[in-house]
Amino acid sequence: MKSLLVKTLALAVIAAAPALAQAARDIDLGKDFDSLGGNEKLYKRAKALDPENRVSIVQKRVVDRDLRLELGVNYGVNAGGDAYVSTQNLGGNIDFHITPRWSVGGRFYTHYNSLTNEGRAAYEDARRRRLTDPSDPNIRVSPTDHPERTMLGTVSWYPVYGKTNLFDLAVVQFDLYTLAGYGRVKLKSGWSEAITAGGGIGFWLTQHVSSRIEGRWQTYEDRPDDQARRLNVGILTVSLGLML
């Protein structure tokens, strides 16, 4: 009986040995894990010896802009200028990218003009007064010399690059740029020279599609009432382009 009991106990121990060994190994592994690292004093000492190795990301431009032509269509609004006229623009832009940092090109607009609230009020007031007293020569509103078309040559410099996560769909690279230009504005009264300067941001959406948001200051002379007047106009434009 005694020997049977001993044999049974021995068998039980042998049967449990693998599970016990596994459990012991698990405990060892867990202890081993927890004992790794954790010495804060040593960490501080190590920090004093920091060799300042640095990780950076170095990547090529996704969209190659060496010797590439960009053609675009744009829409814009003017701010400033003649207080009686509100101007919107539809047009095109062309940029020849010599390198990713420099491009030369042009901007072309057709202007669509309407009276501002102030202008409409001035005309309405004059019309009412004219109805009351048609013979009064002082009742008049200065005529507007609104722009009809603009053509500019530009040079752009792209000193700053970046990239943005576009709604988790794609990573889009962009460049901030400044531009300067010279050209001519066709007004109601005739042609006038124009100078422009400004900047913008160009998004290179794919190898062949681009988009820009551009803000420019533009100055030219108009001639309402045959008297030259210098105007400073702010122009904000958005465009969509095709890279060839």
Q: What CA–CA distance (Å, rounded) separates 109 from 72?
A: 12
Q: By CB under 8 A, what part of segment 103-122 binds another protein?
A: none
Q: How far is the CB of 214 from another protein (least distance, A)?
A: 22
Query: Pairing between strand 147-166 and 85-99?
Result: unpaired
Q: What CA–CA distance (Å, rounded) separates 192 from 220?
A: 6
How many angstroms separate the Cα of 37 from the Cα of each of 32, 90, 110?
A: 10, 65, 70
Select the span of 29-37, 70-78, 149-157, 193-201 touching another protein (CB under 8 A): 29-37
Among 1, 3, 4, 47, interactor with another protein by CB under 8 A: 47
Select the span of 9-17, 31-39, 80-88, 235-243 touching another protein (CB under 8 A): 31-39
Site string for another protein, 124-163 (x = CB under 8 A): -------------------------------------x-x
Q: Report if residue 206 touches another protein, rule: CB under 8 A.
A: no
Identify the burial level of 221 via C-beta atoms within 10 angstroms of its C-beta, where 0-12 means exposed, 13-18 middle and 19 or more buried: middle
Among 55, 67, 131, 244, interactor with another protein by CB under 8 A: 55
Q: Which is nearer to another protein, 62 or 176 (CB)?
A: 62
Task: Compute how many other C-beta atoms are within 10 angstroms of the C-beta atom of residue 48.
Answer: 6
Select the span of 54-62, 76-84, 141-149, 209-217 touching another protein (CB under 8 A): 54-62
Q: Which is nearer to another protein, 82 or 175 (CB)?
A: 175
Query: Which distant-in-sequence residues (6+ apart) come within 8 Å of 140 by Cβ?
Result: 126
Using CA of residue 63, residue 64, residue 66, residue 72, what is the dihedral sign?
negative
Q: Which tokens go with 26?
A: 């698990």
Q: Contact residues for another protein (CB under 8 A)?
A: 19, 22-23, 25-26, 29-30, 32-33, 35-37, 39, 42-43, 45-47, 49-62, 66, 99-100, 161, 163, 165, 168-169, 171, 173
